[in-house]
Amino acid sequence: MPYNTQRLFVVLAALVALLAGAGVSWWTQHSTPYKTVAGTLWPVTPPLAAVTLTDHNGQVFDRARLRGRWTLFFFGYTHCPDICPSTLGMLNDVAQRLKGSPAGEQLQFVFVSVDPERDTVATLKSYLNYFNPHFIGLTGTPAAITALTQQFSLPVARQGTGQDYQVDHSATLILTNPDARQYAVFSSPHQSALIAQDLMGLIQ
């Protein structure tokens, strides 16, 4: 076999193997026959990069606490005037609808503050207890929070000065799977019944 032909054969074989591997990876993550009604399944992505934040009980929250569990992320802040309270109330309704189901047993709800300057551990704990004491609140350094929002491609922008500033943020919900990979997104407007239906269909 001529050298050029042999080289082309090797390149094509490698390309076929690469595409086959990608197909297997996609099938492994999205082999569920369930068709979502509110969420959008995400293309296969690498596991989240290492992240170290602090939860509302003062404990370290890192990637190890994502592995083995499904996690539904929502990013906001306690001084948020409208989106955050309404979304957290909606998520509490989702949690109630999931009670007794496999999804309810395997899913953790995580609220990540995009305003670490004001959202201390104590502030987050008091705030989340109002909605659902089982929700996990996270805060940390601005750099650590930015690193996480960037992994999810979520925009965050501080508006205003002084202590009455606001923070523009997305209302999108992010679902990660037990491998700590982004699995699905739920864009607003949110309907708790439809989100709960999707979560019960996806998490078996």
One domain, residues 16 and 41: no
- Give the pLDDT score at 164: 87
How would you class 81 by CB atoms within 10 Å of its CB: exposed for 0-12, middle for 13-18, buried for 19 or more? exposed
- Give the pLDDT score at 19: 38
Domain that holds residue 74: 34-202
Residue 6 banded pLDDT, cuts 50, 70, 90: very low
One domain, residues 79 and 131: yes
User: Over the stretch 36-45, which tens digit does the pLDDT of each residue have?
Assistant: 999 999 988 8
One domain, residues 24 and 43: no
One domain, residues 12 and 57: no
User: Over the stretch 8-58, which tens digit does the pLDDT of each residue have?
Assistant: 343 344 433 333 344 444 444 556 578 999 999 998 888 999 999 999 999
One domain, residues 86 and 64: yes
Coil/strand/helix, residue 5: helix
* Domain total of the chain: 2
Q: pTM for the full model?
A: 0.84
One domain, residues 90 and 2: no
H runs (alpha helix) in the chain: 3-29, 83-98, 102-106, 121-131, 142-151, 192-202
User: Over the stretch 65-107, which tens digit does the pLDDT of each residue have?
Assistant: 999 999 999 999 999 999 999 999 999 999 999 999 999 999 9
